[in-house]
Amino acid sequence: MQFDTCLIDGDMLAYVASTSVQKEIDWGDGLWTLHAYLEDAQAAFTASINYIISSLKNKHNLDITNSKKIYCFSDNHLFRKDINPNYKSNRSNTRKPVCYNALVEWIKHNYDCMTIDSCEADDCISSNMNEHSIIISGDKDFNTVEGYFYDFKRDILHYTTEQEAMYNTFVQALAGDRIDGYFGCPKIGIVTAKKILDKVDNKTFDGYWDAAKKQFEKAGLTERDLLVNYRMAHLLTDKEVREGVSNN
């Protein structure tokens, strides 16, 4: 099994690398500082990539050594926040690791990188995904995208079918994601959402949509509420990016 392109979650790799090299110093008299060396973060980032390449080759019989690697990063402005001001609002006051921004700039200067206006790294990856590509990240949200996905955090290589991707997106739209600041349909979690969708006879987009709509209306909400939650959960396709969905 070979892939022409690896679509890599640059946000996550840079965050993990820069976090791992932060050091606390107690200067005495109650003074503490936090610092990091950019060179250490660069080395940690490179080590992570080497680990991913090695793990895929030795454990999953997949050699990506010569595959094109594109590191995807989020834009500073995210269209989902325009639709839902609560989207990732719990992170707005969270400080990034000390040298995160410097590391990202170094990566962008030294590697093939990509950012799409108003989009997250996730959308950048999903909209460029095809049968010749593989996603590399540690984010469960990529279970909503058709294709091969290597979860480097859990060392799992998985193929998601088009049907599974659609199903997983509606599960997330119904259950919400409190960490990301959208809450789905009241009193419905992941387990209940799956039970609802498993009972759908017409396992198409329209069938899942009608079932989800019914749950939102039973909770006193509207189809508009379902649409907002779906747009939070759904990762953009190439066509949607080209049509400017993120700007609507």
160-200 pLDDT tens trace: 999 999 999 999 999 999 999 999 999 999 999 999 999 99
Range of the domain at 211: 163-247
29-84 per-position pLDDT tens digit: 999 999 999 999 999 999 999 999 999 999 999 999 999 999 999 999 999 999 99
pTM score of the predicted model: 0.94
Confidence band (pLDDT; 50, 70, 90) for 91?
Answer: confident
32 with 62, same domain: the answer is: yes
Mean pLDDT of the chain: 96
**Number of structural domains, the chain?**
2
Query: Quick check: 70 and 114 in contact, CB under 8 A?
Result: yes
Q: Which two tokens stand for residue 130?
A: 């095809």
Taking each continuous run of H as one helix and of E as one strand, the counts in the chain are 10, 8
Pairing type for strands 156-160 and 31-35 reads unpaired
My answer on whether 179 and 150 are in the same domain is: no
Domain end position, chosen among 113, 128, 160: 160
CATH code of the domain in which 125 resides: 3.40.50.1010
Banded model confidence at residue 89, pLDDT cuts 50, 70, 90 = confident
Phi and psi at 235, nearest 5°, equal -95, 140
